[in-house]
Amino acid sequence: MTSRTLGNGALVTLVAFALSALPLAGCTHVKPWERGKLAHPTMAGPNLPGPAEEHVYSVQEGAVGGGASAESGCGCN
């Protein structure tokens, strides 16, 4: 992979971060009784990959990180 391609990757990352920040401008205050969708299990947790899949990524990729999570939403307790 050339450095030019990597530069494109970094640009994609930057754009993704910028796009992900856009909805902040339109945040609404969600009440506890409005969290039915947010409580769905597919909405929570960073560890969607199982241990075998995570191991594959840790071996095949030279990067680490991204395991932390902070859920806002289900109001389960």
Cβ-count burial 25-43 (b if 16+ within 10 Å, e if not): eeeeeeeeeebeeeeeeee
> In the complex, what is the shortest distance from the CB of residue 41 to another protein, in angstroms, rounded to a whole number?
4
> In the complex, what is the shortest distance from the CB of residue 38 to another protein, in angstroms, rounded to a whole number?
6
> In the complex, what is the shortest distance from the CB of residue 11 to another protein, in angstroms, rounded to a whole number?
9
Residues near another protein (CB under 8 A) are 1-3, 5-6, 9-10, 12-14, 16-17, 20-21, 23-24, 26-48, 50-53, 55-57, 59-77
Which secondary-structure segment (H or E) carries 11? Answer: helix 3-21
